[in-house]
Structure 1
């Protein structure tokens, strides 16, 4: 029997509860148990006026942003529409059916103002890290670091060649916000001071972004999203935005490790990374802080012409010399100099030379230095730390570490494929930092929700 035609009829009163209409296994139910925003008001108290019209509740704005980044809704205009329509989003944001959703412009005002001045998003991210530590998801022994390039909101057509770019001609008062932020970061190690090399192209709309072709494809403007993770449960314990160049990414690693020590008293036993982090100064920095570098060493001493490489020479630390396979010594100095800087190359390296007469009479000269009168070997400033990393690379634990390093790459894959952060929507270093912090916060919350799923309502008999 066919039922009667369904027609909507207006009613004077409704009995409706959002709680009853949000599924028990919904992701937001699990996330909600780990979102603690009680301290937001006290954190922002100094950044609000004591007079005037009451503002939008900052907790509501943060909850909406968490929803947006957890579900890949990064457009604030679309986020307001989704929260208006979706019952689960309303429930998470503590909005009843009759409550108004804030206008999308409210996010921009707060983001460019009190949120950045108070570093609220950094405070929010560190709150999720503290909760992960409390729940036992951070062991604090094995850390891994890596960086991934995220496209900037900048186009090649709206760019200038480096020869045509003159910073001194920019008027900060009349410049857009992203350009002013670029000028403010010229002396920061993560951006302008990372290298003296000027990029081939500079964007007019976001000059702090890096013109790069590191993906061996079409060049584009990008920022680097740097993650420091604990490998036990892949919890992100550090996040930093930098230019997409190796020097800036390596510098960000030091910043994240120092911040993890200061904020959470986390001091790892080992750091896992790829070859980009295997420079001498970085390895020396880690060894000085008793952190074992599970990192491939950047080493260009290997020879490919069949002659002896530096590894074939034995280092004699007691006598400050190398010993060649024939048993002869290569020394830096063969007499005492009154000038202590004598013999230095000026690049943190020292040259060790064999005697010319010894090399000329040596039966292995053709295998050692066929095109030179005497053999010369360069020793790096942080060679001891580099040797520590080489020795670690021969261990079984190193093989395990190289597998654990893939956990960082998996987080970046999740960031781009699930959260949809392939290209930034905000401009400038602050905009990139805001997006990376919110995305890392969302990933940590999703991790907590996955490990500690919300209890299901028992079925009635």
Structure 2
């Protein structure tokens, strides 16, 4: 018998948001890990809002803001305005953020007003570190064997914004007519994003870009450090030295670490810096018309071959960040904000990896 096309609502509905989320939904495991990290950050949040104790309206809880920002990455929501719209009627999003069904959704400008506060207190970096700490607690990290690489991030600025630095006040040139002109980062800058740099790599065209860098642990390909720099020919090696040095500080001096990288890192200065830090340079040898800086004794070792095989996993994080996390062309401007979004995206990537690794372990136990 055909059912009637009617719509009748009950006056009262005795259900919680949790009842609408399936028991096996992927966000359940992620939310549990995020909440554990946020609890550990309670002291940081208290310091962030210490100046507001004397008075004023209560601000949006930073825990809710960070959960909402993670949702934007995980579900590829292209704008904060659209994210607020989704949270308004999407019960799954409300449940993850921590808003009840009848709670009002804040306006999109809340993100703009609070982003700088989160940057000033390194809240996103601390969230990233807490998630890495959880991976370490689960013994998912080797702690000694790493890979490093960089990727180009297109800035939210176009060629028309790239104008001469010495242009006079009142000059309304929009930079659109640049044919047959010599342009460089020394003489020109973007009036849209002053931190972006005109850069090309390989066969790619010159674009206004930043450069994102990650350091991954070889055991399961989890990102243990991430950062964004201005794009230039030395950024990858300088960022690699900074990230592996951070790891070096947490180990005893006699512990030997390994670092895998592609041929672009095969430079004598970089190899020497690694050796001074007691890090074995498992860098791919570049012998194209030159002598490699990587010692043959290192390149012939069994560990070197393993590092080269594991190094491929680092590309998975970049691919995920650019297809899911909207990092192919970033949607914020300024080095600090781009860095914040890149680190947050890598934190979201780690969460998805940890969820998957947890499921694999559970199935193996069965």
**TM-score (structure 2 length as normaliser):** 0.86
Distance in 1 separating the partners of 2:166 and 2:237 = 28
Q: Does 1:131 align with 2:131?
A: no
Quote how far apart the aligned CAs of 1:165 are. 1.7
The corresponding residue for 2:20 is 21
**Matched-pair contact (CA < 8 Å) for 2:210–2:229:** yes
After TM superposition, the structure 1 stretch with the greater mean CA deviation from structure 2, 11-20 or 257-266, is 257-266
The corresponding residue for 2:177 is none
- Tell me which of 270, 278, 281 is aligned to 1:293: 281
Q: Does 1:78 align with 2:82?
A: yes
Quote how far apart the aligned CAs of 1:25 are. 2.2
Per the alignment, do residues 38 and 454 of structure 1 end up closer, same or farther by CA in structure 2, a change over 3 Å counting? farther
Distance in 1 separating the partners of 2:252 and 2:132 = 12
Q: Please give the residue correspondences for 1:209-220 in structure 2 after superposition, counting only pairs within 5 Å.
A: 209-220=196-207
Per the alignment, do residues 429 and 247 of structure 1 end up closer, same or farther by CA in structure 2, a change over 3 Å counting? same
Per the alignment, do residues 203 and 292 of structure 1 end up closer, same or farther by CA in structure 2, a change over 3 Å counting? same
Distance in 1 separating the partners of 2:105 and 2:277 = 50
The corresponding residue for 2:232 is 245
Distance in 2 separating the partners of 1:261 and 1:84 = 45
The total of aligned residue pairs comes to: 342
Quote how far apart the aligned CAs of 1:434 are. 0.8
**Matched-pair contact (CA < 8 Å) for 1:29–1:454:** no
Q: Please give the residue correspondences for 1:320-359 in structure 2 after superposition, counting only pairs within 5 Å.
A: none
The corresponding residue for 2:150 is 147
The corresponding residue for 1:95 is 99
Per the alignment, do residues 96 and 396 of structure 1 end up closer, same or farther by CA in structure 2, a change over 3 Å counting? same
Q: Does 1:439 align with 2:345?
A: yes
**Matched-pair contact (CA < 8 Å) for 2:284–2:308:** no
Per the alignment, do residues 265 and 429 of structure 1 end up closer, same or farther by CA in structure 2, a change over 3 Å counting? farther
Quote how far apart the aligned CAs of 1:26 are. 1.4
Q: CA RMSD in A?
A: 2.6
Larger radius of gyration: 1
Quote how far apart the aligned CAs of 1:166 are. 4.1
Q: Deviations over 1:272-303 (max 9, x none)?
A: 0011111111101111121110113456764x
Distance in 2 separating the partners of 1:144 and 1:448 = 18
Distance in 1 separating the partners of 2:361 and 2:272 = 48
Q: Does 1:391 align with 2:297?
A: yes
Quote how far apart the aligned CAs of 1:269 are. 2.0
Q: Does 1:44 align with 2:31?
A: no
Q: Deviations over 1:297-335 (max 9, x none)?
A: 456764xxxxxxxx7xxxxxxxxxxxxxxxxxxxxxxxx
The corresponding residue for 1:450 is 356
**TM-score (structure 1 length as normaliser):** 0.69
Quote how far apart the aligned CAs of 1:198 are. 3.8
Distance in 1 separating the partners of 2:338 and 2:203 = 23
Quote how far apart the aligned CAs of 1:453 are. 3.4
The corresponding residue for 2:70 is 66
**Matched-pair contact (CA < 8 Å) for 1:240–1:433:** yes
**Matched-pair contact (CA < 8 Å) for 1:142–1:268:** no
Which structure is higher in helix share? 2
The corresponding residue for 2:112 is 108
Quote how far apart the aligned CAs of 1:442 are. 0.1
